[in-house]
Amino acid sequence: MNDETKQKINKRYERELDKGERFWPDTIFKDLITSLAIFLVLILLATFIGIPAEPKADPSDTSYIPRPEWYFLFLFKFLALYGQLPLIGKIEWIATVLIPGIAIGVLTLLPFIEKNPNRYYSKRILPISIMTVMVTGIVLLTLMSEVPTVSEDGSTLLGTLQTTVGIFIPLTAYILFAVFKSNTRLMLWTTSLAAVSMILISGTVLALAPEKKTEETEVATTLVDQIFAGQDLYSVYCTECHGDDGSVAVIQGVEGLEGEEITPINSRDVLYTITDSAMTEVIAYGRPNAGMTPFGKTYGGELTRSEIDYIVVFMRYMWDDRFEVPAEALKPLFPPLAQGEVPSYDVHIQPIVKRYCVSCHRAGKENNNYLMTSYEEILTTGDNVDKNIIAGDEGSYFLQVIQEHAIMNPEAPDEELIGVMPPNRALKSNIVEVFFRWIMSGMPKTAEEAGALSTTPTPTP
Ligand code: HEC
Ligand code: HEC
């Protein structure tokens, strides 16, 4: 900087001082006000909007793919692309240490390399060019961070395009900058071409990218939601052996455990002696020697840590007399039927079946191939599909077995073809009544269909 410019700058500074605005306290005061405002906005956002809760961390869940915070995504993508390069792709420290190190080094040293006193853009082409290519790269890599580097079908097209944007074009641009050092024009051309081609190729990548599969993980945050989530999980996974209310003392209808005596898990014997963490462990690990398979993902089961926690919450609040159930958690399973009202699958049958039958009547269970997880399955599956559900017929096997009349095998009259259902306990009479009216009225699916049938009172069994 020569003396003339120094003087000019000093003069300007004096003039600003004369206007009466000082760094201390004027500017600092403005800064404080601004930061206070930002702070308040953050508090408001955190209070009223917040971020969605994720399921509880489960260190044993190997299917979880960790992702960095958004401001590191570009680096994450860069590493993935670098790993695809031939030969040097295997030498990780180049990408993790050397290149970021050089980049930060160059940015730090840039003011010392470029000692141009001018602040005018056209006089500062080199730093601006370097920054333009770098920032464009960072933004584009962040945008593309969700696009897989290696496609599931093994195609390398997307990966190659991304590597072009993230590595080849910037590298070429930097080499050209070094070559054109003193030629402003060529430097400008290089920068614009690099930036535009990077943007166009990234656009293509984003357009071609396979649609992201969003995996819905339900997170129950309130106690009532957790109880309901636990209830649903319990119905599917546990009812089979322990009954819908945990009171089963002799297992029935479960292959291999027929007649097995167990302690009812809704009893004080179990609830008072097993702590929450021990309970979680029992469910995760099962009781393999006694015939209860592991449920935790850690041990090869199907349930996550949060799901097991919900089951424990459900068991505590519903069965443990030391806990008080919140009133909202006690809503009835289905709306009670009025005189002459016909129940529908959607409103009545589905929740009942889910609570009392699906635990055994789903794929992979011993159940005469009778699946009950959807309306269609209930009507069209089962070894005795033609006799199970016959609209308007009281003799339908379904209606017989839920009323504790086992169906005998016509070929071997003292052998049961179908035992009573559910095998471990009788259904309450109001539930039997719902099934009875539903089948006698022709199994309507929706509430509207049922409503149309609901004019005349139906006879009760
Ligand atoms: C295939 C049958 C089966 C299924 C399904 C099953 N259990 Fe069990 N469970 C058992 C058996 C058998 C025992 C051992 C009972 C005993 O020793 O008294 C047991 C024991 C338990 C115990 C410990 C009882 C004690 O006395 O220590 C708990 C708690 C329990 N089960 C909860 C569950 C929960 C919750 C589920 C659903 C996620 C479930 N079980 C699913 C068969 C099963
Ligand atoms: C503990 C397991 C279990 C539960 C819970 C259960 N079932 Fe079953 N179900 C079976 C098994 C096992 C069979 C095969 C026949 C047998 O062993 O009696 C079966 C067979 C049936 C059949 C005959 C299917 C055919 O085509 O042969 C019907 C109908 C049936 N169940 C209805 C129900 C209904 C309705 C519920 C709920 C209210 C229910 N089941 C709950 C285990 C269960």
123-165 pLDDT, tens digit per residue, is 888 888 989 999 999 999 999 988 888 777 777 888 899 999 9
Reported residue count of the chain is 461
The rounded Å distance from CA 356 to ligand 2 centre is: 10
* Residue 17 confidence (pLDDT): 78
Does the pLDDT value for residue 320 go beyond 90?
A: yes
Q: How far apart are the first and last CA of the chain?
A: 103
Q: Band the pLDDT of 376: cuts 50, 70, 90.
A: very high
If phi > 0 it is left, if psi is from -120 to 50 it is alpha, else beta; for residue 392 that is left
305-309, 368-372, 455-459: least confident range: 455-459
The rounded Å distance from CA 288 to ligand 1 centre is: 10
Does the pLDDT value for residue 461 go beyond 60?
A: no
Pocket of ligand 1 (CB under 6 A): 237-238, 240-242, 254, 257, 260, 262-263, 265, 270, 279, 282-283, 287, 290-292, 295, 311
Q: Band the pLDDT of 456: cuts 50, 70, 90.
A: low
Among 353, 378, 382, residue whose Cα is nearest residue 368: 382
The rounded Å distance from CA 253 to ligand 2 centre is: 8
* Residue 25 confidence (pLDDT): 84
How far, in Å, CA of 459 to CA of 441, rounded? Answer: 10
Q: Band the pLDDT of 55: cuts 50, 70, 90.
A: low
Longest Cα–Cα distance of the chain, Å, equals 116
Most informative mutation of 356, 360, 386 for ligand 2 (most atoms within 8 A of CB)? 360
Q: Whose CA is nearest to atom 15 of ligand 1?
A: 262
**Structure tokens given for 192:** 């614009």
* Residue 150 confidence (pLDDT): 79
Q: What tens digit of pLDDT does each residue of 246-258 get?
A: 999 999 888 888 8
* Residue 387 confidence (pLDDT): 92
Among 153, 262, 157, residue whose Cα is nearest residue 201: 157
* Residue 1 confidence (pLDDT): 61
- How far, in whole angstroms, is CA 170 from its chain's centroid? 36
* Residue 84 confidence (pLDDT): 83
Considering the chain, what percentage of its residues have pLDDT values greater than 70? 94
How many Cα atoms within 13 Å fall on the side-chain side of residue 25? 3
* Residue 63 confidence (pLDDT): 62
Does the pLDDT value for residue 460 go beyond 70?
A: no
* Residue 215 confidence (pLDDT): 52
The rounded Å distance from CA 242 to ligand 1 centre is: 7
